[in-house]
Structure 1
């Protein structure tokens, strides 16, 4: 699929290209050393895909470039109101026909209330100022437009912890769970909850999403502390699908999940 280049990522990509040229390493050789396909490295170098900090460090290591790429990565990822990966996620979601999401710690951003989103982002972004926080919340709320008027099929599997964890306050969590129940009742999203201590934990590697499109190959994305990394390699996407199927098998049915969520909300309201 076609991605728009972002100025900061273009600058980072030029640094990667220059470092690779200086080391006289071909794109195919570096991609092999990094265990990625050449098209992924090409997208890094053209600024159409965000790379992780670990990837920047690995590129420096393989090119022996004395931290040049890592320094450029840090420059490209200085706080600028909205994380660099937000616009890409928003763009992806506007094009999907189906979304599968697994979350282990919080209610997914796509169905968060504004108060819950504000509290969650404040807790996970130490040092953030009010203007930056407001921009992040606006971006998250904009994404929810896909829930209106013929939404895509959305399947979400949440660990019980994501439902019971108080974020912001008991009132904020109660209002958030009320929204989840409303979306479930109106068949906007299908939510299933993995009960506490199910016996196996296939989602231990962390939250992820799998995107299906009507006319393009599937993609996946995985969350990390500084944002989210997109994957279009078919083997990795299939691996994410397999994990989603496994966690879904451990989860309660949608009806049982609604009962679980409703009980948590009632306890919060008492």
Structure 2
């Protein structure tokens, strides 16, 4: 999709855009012609490239509001505008609720909910005053729509992120559109850590109705679409990129029609 949507002349920021899903999103925007700035606390080993172009990296701790304000002020000063923010940075270790204490779980919420809020507030200050406004895309998760044992704080944060996006879409209209891409399982360089070898990854993929995990490029295509004029009347929406979701467990347990 990135190849048929032209974002030439636009400026996009992708948080956590240098690896995994974030790198797939960054490549999609590069292929669509956008200038892309990625950010994280640490620089990538190699820059993200696509379509003969390279994304720029700037370091920032997204949990530091003052640093975030300075980052977006720099983007505005050096590029003259900001058309799209993709709040991709986030994640969590596997940790049962009874382990680690409330403070560790609170840090997961801080990274996955408060940091996107902080970045969105700073981006809004740039977007609200420019011609054409802007678009903010939250990267959500199916963990926010179903029980998430072992990642409960992450799931709660993602549920909050989806609701936050809908509220932003109302408060910031018509200048800024805000949407959420709700992800299922995506195959990245970290997949072997979660699902094991190729056989394990394939077995997990078979639990998805479409029979496989998503590719980061497919997430990127969804983000490019929401950032483009083709989605000009889409705001406050949740776009599920999850291959059909998960097969209900009761279907496998039932004896009827077996």
TM-score, normalised to structure 1, is 0.29
Looking at CA atoms only, which structure, 1 or 2, has the larger radius of gyration?
A: 1
- More strand, by proportion: 2
TM-score, normalised to structure 2, is 0.30
